[in-house]
Structure 1
Amino acid sequence: MLQSNLLQTDRTHLSLSAQARPDQINGGGIGDLVKFAIGFAKRRYLMIIVTAALVFAAAMLYLRFAPPTYTAQVQILLSNPRAKFVQQQSLLPEPVVDVVQIETQLQMIRSRATARAVITKLKLANDLDLTGSRWSLSALLQRIRSRSQQPENNSQADTSNEPSEGAIVALLDGLTAYRIGYSNIIEISYSSSSAVRAAEIANAAADAYISDQMDARFEATRTAASWLQERLHNLNEQALTAERAVSAYKSQNNIVSTGGKSIDEQPVNDLNARLVAARTQTSDAQVKFNRYNAVLGANATGSSVINAPDAASADVLQSSIINSLRQQYLELSRREADWSSRFGRDHLAVVNLRSRIRDIRTSILDEVRRLAETSRNELEAAQQRQQELEKQLARAVSQSRLTNSAELTIRELESRAKSLRTMHEAFLQHYMGSTQQETFPISETRVISPASPPDRKSKPKTRLVLGLSLFAGVALGIGLALLRDVMDRVFRTSSQMEAALELPCLSLVPLLSSSKAQKSTARSQQPDEDLQSRTVSNIPTIHRAVIGMPLSRFTEAIRSIKLAIDHTPAKASNQVIGITSALPNEGKTTIAASLAQLIGHSGKRAILVDCDLRNPSLSASMAPKASFGLLEVANGSRSLEETIWRDPRTNLAFLPAVRRGALLHTSEILSAETVSKLFDRLRQTYDYVIVDLPPLTPLVDVRVTASLIDCYVLVVEWGRTKIDVVQHALHTAPTISDSLIGAVLNKTDIRAMARYDAYRSDYYDDSHYIRYGLSDS
């Protein structure tokens, strides 16, 4: 396989071209990225598909064995206002429904008291879903044991109806409550493995909440009624005591009636009536002033809004200005709560709303202060009038000879008795009305949509789980595939080899199967070799591939190696070529034999020398019956002509290496003077000397051949040899590294190259080679 960079032996130029390639790739833009993605998908599609299928299968198993969960919902209306006639007679004020109130109710629904009431009502203290032991081994043993001990267990179950802490926590985990939008409707939902049980618990939770609300209100009403009844009793006793005092005082002073006196008594009576009216006005003004002060005091501590329209603030709400400001305040407060939940409390619009709310609140308080100041002036005026009337009455009394202390005392006693009796009747009327009203059975909340057993499970969601599993499987597969690519520290492409080794890639030698080689050389087989003439006639089929398949990619790749050897400008002549590799079994022997066969078949004088003295595999395959070889020539026991074997088809000479036992000093043998003289003789006799050398990593023999070899060719196995191993081998043999003209990527899977070398994927298309008569067969 001939590439444009096969003949580049200038290391500096190679380094620059290798560095420029990433820039070109980056400059390719989306097209290069698409090519890389396509190549990556072609390389790792199987891993991605298998990973996605495994994750999808795991999701299917989860859906198959995961217990279903059903969720039932019940909706309740938080505020159910009572009739007006009921509100007017109620002892307790109507609650104001706002965000805080709704959140409070939600917490009450999710409270432990509600859970305890539900468990007690439905008798769920020993329910397996709540105790968390439905699928445990102990629960299974308990169910088996319960079949034989059912009567005894029934008696024990009656005593264990009290809900446990775990049951309460488990029920609260499945119970949820939330507000629907911005309405006063709350939705209570419960999730359970049983649709019927989910509906029962949801409805029971709603009933427990409503019952708790009614019980709490009834309890508050009973407490208020009890206090009112005690107060009525006290007022009645005080009124009776005051009436008895009036009657006793009249009897002691012989007063028949408060009238019947002289006419001089009339001014005193008038002044007394006016004084009573003045005192009433003063009392009313005092009460009114106290109410204003109460409103100011309640809002001076940072209260968020003016008090509700009850008896304490009725005078304040009579002001049209305050009512208008208060309506604006409530509207802005509602909008502030709405916008805070939608845009956040720190949003500029929400901050501006709060600023306007503070301004309106300040205006309300200023108006209340103005009214309070007016009320204070009225109080002072009333007090002055009262004082003036008191002075006039005092003067009138002092001037009246007919008025005595007894008359004043009787009037005071009568006035007090009348006030107490009036107060008692008012309290009695209010008590009777409230007592009748509290018997009206109505709650502030009611169920508007009870829960029913759901038809479909809420969890797990089949489509969602399958969709997520498929997405996660593909993502995990891509991640594993990327990790596999990152961890794949072997040689795959020529550019990868050039960048890692700073050597030109001389050729990509395709992987040649034995069946193709045998098919191509079946017609050329001859009888066994002649030991007398030392003729090589039974050469392995893979070594004969360049002759049997002259129009194949394999042969074209071997031609690329020869062309690179012939046109390397580093030296004047590359006559002795050493073929080596970093590790054994990378195919260096096949490359050496194929290169020698190609050169010999072209008419050149070529000799193939087996210098792998410790493992002469080439000699074992080409001349297995040879008795003499390189070692005998080196020690002088045999001549060169006596040891050389020849191939009659290609006129290739072969110098084998015969191993007769363990060789301990092969490096000394190769560095001997006799071997150097032998190679000098080979240079003079042959045009090309192809030397099959040992690998670099396990042995040091190759390092001593620098004086014998003109240039080296490094053979690297595609997809197997680690990059770090080759780099370390070249680093430990600098003399060999300097003489390398390039590397050969052997046993290449050409079809897989399109997946790994996406930027030159079209280069590996068979159509380019078929056009010129080249093929793999």
Structure 2
Amino acid sequence: MKTRDNYGKSSSDDEAGLDLRGLIADFRRYSLLFGVVFCTAFVLILFPLLSQTPKYVASSAVMIDPRSVNITNASEQVLSDLPQDAATIDTEVSLIKSSSLAEMAIRELDLDKDPEFNPFLNPRKKYFGLVTEPQRPEAALTPLEKKARQQIITNIVLGGLTVRREGTTRVINISYSSTSPEKAMRIADEWANFYLAQQMEARFEATRSASGWLDSRLDELRGQVESAERAVQQYKIANNLMSSTGSTLTEQEISSLNQQLAVVRVDEAESEARLATARRQLAAGSTGEDVGEALNSGVVANLRSQSAEVSRRVAELEARYGPLHPEIIKAKREKADIDQQIRNEIARIISNLEAQVQVQRQRTSSLAGSVGSARGVLAGNNRAQVRLNELERDAQAVRSLYESYLERFKETSSQEGMAKSDARIVAKAKLPMGPSSPKVSLSVALALVGAFGAGAAAVLGRRAFDSVLTTSTDVERHLRQPYLAGLPDLASTVEKGHKRTDPVTYVTEKPLSVFAEGFRSLRASLLYTRDGEQARVIALTSCLPGEGKTTASMCLAQIVAMAGQTVVVVDCDLRRKSINAYVQDQPEAGILEVLDGSATLDQALTDGPGGKVKLLPVKPESYTTRDVFGDPSMDGLIAELKERFDVVIMDTAPVLPVVDTRILVRKVDAVVMLVHWRKTPRDAAQKALDLLISADAPMAGVALSQIDVNQQAKYAYGDSGFYYKAYKGYYTE
């Protein structure tokens, strides 16, 4: 939360951001500290850098190659080619820096036998290298200790490796740093080879693993295929669903029976037609000789031929002999016998036709029954076919899966031994021409940066622990009081070699000096206020002894006197009695005598240096334990002094060690607290202010005393003292 003091300035304004120019002023202020720390840090950083063992760097380069070479007819590889996006290439960079490659390099290049990478080959140093002792032999190590040693060696090997991608390209640089140029070149080259070998091994391993898995899977699927097909065959046999030409045996049987039935029915119809025709001819009075079947009979034809021959002979005999001739009778009897044979044969033929029709009818009936029975079986088979179809689908699915796995197994087997890497070496490492480190220019630059950082840290640390008051900003920010003036230290305003002069005398002799101007500024702050009220009774105090109250009181009095005002300085420090140093003649009485009524004010007043300032001192031998400042007589003295003088300046005791000032300040018009520039702790000044404020002191503000104006120009950024060198020629010293 922002707070505002009684002079309207935000207490957080100066803390809102980084005051760059203020920091520069701090660096100027602590330039000696910065210089000492900078030089020390520069040496401490640069010496170890330049004392390092020279390191040589060799680099090889590999390129992630997206192009592929198709040798086999396999549609896909077991391990697919790497995609060419940035994330994949960055992943490959990480793989090149992996511990597995480092372990391969250690194993293949025997790096664990090289003291550069295996610190356990060197004697162990103790007590800052003053004492050495041999390392424990590897045989005495536990498995965990061996693993820890191996990890340390791996980390050291990886410490010399640098892998980076060239911009946005697919090229990866592999650099290695070593104390030997030949070793650096060898490791950089072999590291690239190890990376390619690892890629190839990954593909081989993936292919072998895939082949092994496919083989085991094929065995499993083969068993499933055999089991499924066996189930189909058993179901076919159990349900009479066997087939040979794409249809079941029942279907084939029905087809054959239907064909036979059709033939039999045709034969039956034909036989019945012949029988019916023969019966119609016989019914029409035919002797049967003209019946179709008889016409086709050889027996009938032969008998008819014999009958014709006998008839011809009868005719010849009748022509030769009479009708009663024995030969004629014999011939007629022979012809009658032949005709009877013909009739018998025709009857037999008709009987055969009837028997044939009956057989045909029986065959037709039998075949029709067989067809019906077969169709009943077929209906049952059709119901069983639903389950058979399900079994066949299952078998086909397993068979298809088996065939796809078998095809993939063949493709995978064809890839074994023909795996290719996704990367190739595009640049071999070259022998380094010179060491890459330590580089003098880089070491100096690092030392400069480190030294500057150390110096800056020292300055900032000193600034952070700086608990004194330096500028008007410090006063207003930390004490929350108006800043009245800065009172210079006289020694800092005069040229070196000049005779040392008393400050009070100097103000009189050099009224236009920078020293006198500080007190003139204090007078203006006290006598010319915004509300027009003039402070006539002014108390000068401090929190601790030795902050220049008496000198400031005397110098301020001289400035007031030179301005044409009458002024008196009252010594209110009953212990130090510092005003007596400026008394020309020892007084017969002092302030204590005036207060107890043993002397008059005129008897106690004396002239100060130059005679323009009146002094009311404390008689050297006087002492009292009474609370004289709280007595009404003190009020009367102040009233009398105000009647006789324009300005009354009271030189009081410090606030923290003496309580007198806290009693006195209630009776004055304005209180000025002096703070020794860059000496008085802020906490002490704040404590004194708190005591004064709690005593209802009419605080006019704070003035910094004994300021080194030359140093103030370094410290006081934002303060008028910062520009002292610019305006010092304006004063007359």
What TM-score do you get using the length of structure 2 for normalisation?
Answer: 0.55
In structure 1, the residue matched to 2:687 is 728
Query: Does 2:58 match 1:72?
Result: yes
Look up the SS of the partner of 1:491 in the other structure: coil
Contact 2:607 2:615 in 1 (8 A): yes
Structure 2 residues without counterparts, runs of 5 or longer = 141-145, 212-395
Write out aligned runs for 1:255-404 (5 A). Answer: 293=400, 297=404, 310=411
In structure 1, the residue matched to 2:542 is 581
In structure 1, the residue matched to 2:654 is 695
Write out aligned runs for 1:500-515 (5 A). Answer: 500-501=478-479, 503-513=481-491
In structure 2, the residue matched to 1:631 is 592
In structure 2, the residue matched to 1:253 is none
Contact 2:666 2:696 in 1 (8 A): no
Deviation at 1:449, TM superposition (A): 5.2
Could you tell me how far apart the structure 2 residues matched to 1:542 and 1:648 are? 11
Contact 2:493 2:514 in 1 (8 A): no
Contact 2:117 2:156 in 1 (8 A): yes
Deviation at 1:669, TM superposition (A): 2.9
Write out aligned runs for 1:157-168 (5 A). Answer: 165-166=150-151, 167=153
Contact 2:538 2:648 in 1 (8 A): yes
Could you tell me how far apart the structure 2 residues matched to 1:704 and 1:145 are? 77
Assess, with a 3 A threshold, how the Cα gap between structure 1 residues 559 and 68 changes in structure 2: closer, same or farther: same
Assess, with a 3 A threshold, how the Cα gap between structure 1 residues 462 and 97 changes in structure 2: closer, same or farther: farther
In structure 2, the residue matched to 1:715 is 674
What TM-score do you get using the length of structure 1 for normalisation?
Answer: 0.53
Could you tell me how far apart the structure 2 residues matched to 1:102 and 1:498 are? 61
Look up the SS of the partner of 1:721 in the other structure: coil
Deviation at 1:589, TM superposition (A): 0.9
Structure 1 residues without counterparts, runs of 5 or longer = 1-11, 147-152, 157-161, 225-288, 300-305, 315-433, 523-539
> Once the two structures are superposed, what CA deviation does each residue of 1:328-364 show, in whole Å capped at 9, x if it has no partner?
xxxxxxxxxxxxxxxxxxxxxxxxxxxxxxxxxxxxx
Could you tell me how far apart the structure 2 residues matched to 1:141 and 1:599 are? 74
Could you tell me how far apart the structure 1 residues matched to 2:203 and 2:698 are? 102
Write out aligned runs for 1:10-89 (5 A). Answer: 15=6, 17-19=8-10, 22=13, 39=25, 42-43=28-29, 52-74=38-60
Could you tell me how far apart the structure 1 residues matched to 2:480 and 2:422 are? 87
Residue type of the partner of 1:137?
K
Residue type of the partner of 1:745?
L
Query: Does 2:512 match 1:551?
Result: yes
Could you tell me how far apart the structure 2 residues matched to 1:655 and 1:210 are? 101
> Once the two structures are superposed, what CA deviation does each residue of 1:88-146 show, in whole Å capped at 9, x if it has no partner?
99xxx999754699999999987888766755665544432222255951699999899
Query: Does 2:125 match 1:137?
Result: yes
Compare CA radii of gyration and give the structure with the larger one: 2
In structure 2, the residue matched to 1:741 is 700
Could you tell me how far apart the structure 2 residues matched to 1:545 and 1:498 are? 30
Contact 1:514 1:542 in 2 (8 A): no
Could you tell me how far apart the structure 2 residues matched to 1:140 and 1:492 are? 46
Residue type of the partner of 1:719?
R
Look up the SS of the partner of 2:576 in the other structure: coil
In structure 2, the residue matched to 1:494 is 472
> Once the two structures are superposed, what CA deviation does each residue of 1:227-266 show, in whole Å capped at 9, x if it has no partner?
xxxxxxxxxxxxxxxxxxxxxxxxxxxxxxxxxxxxxxxx
Contact 1:70 1:198 in 2 (8 A): yes
Assess, with a 3 A threshold, how the Cα gap between structure 1 residues 125 and 647 changes in structure 2: closer, same or farther: closer
Deviates more, 1:648-657 or 1:178-187: 178-187
Deviation at 1:701, TM superposition (A): 0.4
In structure 2, the residue matched to 1:337 is none
RMSD: 5.9
> Once the two structures are superposed, what CA deviation does each residue of 1:610-641 show, in whole Å capped at 9, x if it has no partner?
11012223324646966753334444555555
Assess, with a 3 A threshold, how the Cα gap between structure 1 residues 296 and 764 changes in structure 2: closer, same or farther: farther
Contact 1:69 1:194 in 2 (8 A): yes
Could you tell me how far apart the structure 2 residues matched to 1:678 and 1:22 are? 45
Residue type of the partner of 1:193?
T
Identity level (%) = 27
> Once the two structures are superposed, what CA deviation does each residue of 1:426-448 show, in whole Å capped at 9, x if it has no partner?
xxxxxxxx9xxx9x9x9999977
Look up the SS of the partner of 1:544 in the other structure: helix
Deviation at 1:71, TM superposition (A): 3.0
> Once the two structures are superposed, what CA deviation does each residue of 1:17-63 show, in whole Å capped at 9, x if it has no partner?
4349959x99xx9xx97765664554455555655555544431231
Contact 1:521 1:541 in 2 (8 A): no
Residue type of the partner of 2:521?
S
Write out aligned runs for 1:185-264 (5 A). Answer: 189-203=175-189
Query: Does 2:115 match 1:128?
Result: yes
Look up the SS of the partner of 1:649 in the other structure: helix
Deviates more, 1:13-22 or 1:740-749: 13-22
Could you tell me how far apart the structure 2 residues matched to 1:620 and 1:505 are? 29
Look up the SS of the partner of 1:60 in the other structure: helix
Write out aligned runs for 1:506-655 (5 A). Answer: 506-513=484-491, 516=494, 541-568=502-529, 574-601=535-562, 604-620=565-581, 622=583, 629-638=590-599, 640-647=601-608, 649-655=610-616
Residue type of the partner of 2:486?
L
Contact 1:671 1:704 in 2 (8 A): yes
Assess, with a 3 A threshold, how the Cα gap between structure 1 residues 486 and 444 changes in structure 2: closer, same or farther: closer
> Once the two structures are superposed, what CA deviation does each residue of 1:587-625 show, in whole Å capped at 9, x if it has no partner?
111111112233445565433221101222332464696
Contact 2:479 2:686 in 1 (8 A): yes
Look up the SS of the partner of 2:504 in the other structure: coil
Contact 1:520 1:549 in 2 (8 A): no
Could you tell me how far apart the structure 1 residues matched to 2:96 and 2:536 are? 96
Deviation at 1:483, TM superposition (A): 5.4
Residue type of the partner of 2:591?
L
Residue type of the partner of 2:707?
T
Deviates more, 1:504-513 or 1:462-471: 462-471
Contact 1:73 1:451 in 2 (8 A): yes
